């Protein structure tokens, strides 16, 4: 082999080695990007689960509060009706029996 052919062959070999290193770097970078993306998706998934759990807890607490408010409104309505019945019976000259202790 001539010196020129050896030089050209060596240049090609160096280019091939450089290309191989570049491909390896790209593969590592690609793998790292995929890993980061899946990590981000997992974080988002767990964040969504936490948010869903928090929303469920808030709904439970809101339902409890709504129940308390409705019970208080119903109690107030019963008291109002009771007073109205007392007034009507007083107008008729009658009254509820109230046991005094």
The model carries a pTM of 0.48
Q: How confident is the model at residue 84 (pLDDT cuts 50, 70, 90)?
A: very high
Q: Of residues 26 and 36, which shows the higher confidence score? A: 26
Query: 6-15 burial by CB neighbour count: b if 16+ within 10 A, else e?
Result: eeeeeeeeee
Give the pLDDT of residue 51.
84
**Stronger pLDDT, 82 or 45, i.e. the higher one:** 82
CA distance 43 to 74: 46
Quick one: pLDDT at residue 37?
Answer: 74
Contact 86, 96 (CB under 8 A): yes
Looking at residues 48-66, what average pLDDT do you find? 89
């Amino acid at each position: 082999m001539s010196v020129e052919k050896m030089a050209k062959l060596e240049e090609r070999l160096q280019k091939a080695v450089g290309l191989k290193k570049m491909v390896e770097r790209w593969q590592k970078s690609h793998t790292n990007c995929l890993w980061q993306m899946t990590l981000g998706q997992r974080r988002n998934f767990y964040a969504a689960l936490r948010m869903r759990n928090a929303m469920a807890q808030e709904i439970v607490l809101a339902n409890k509060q709504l129940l308390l408010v409705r019970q208080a409104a119903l109690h107030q309505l019963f008291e109002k009706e009771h007073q109205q019945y007392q007034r009507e019976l007083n107008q008729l000259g009658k009254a509820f029996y109230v046991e005094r202790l």
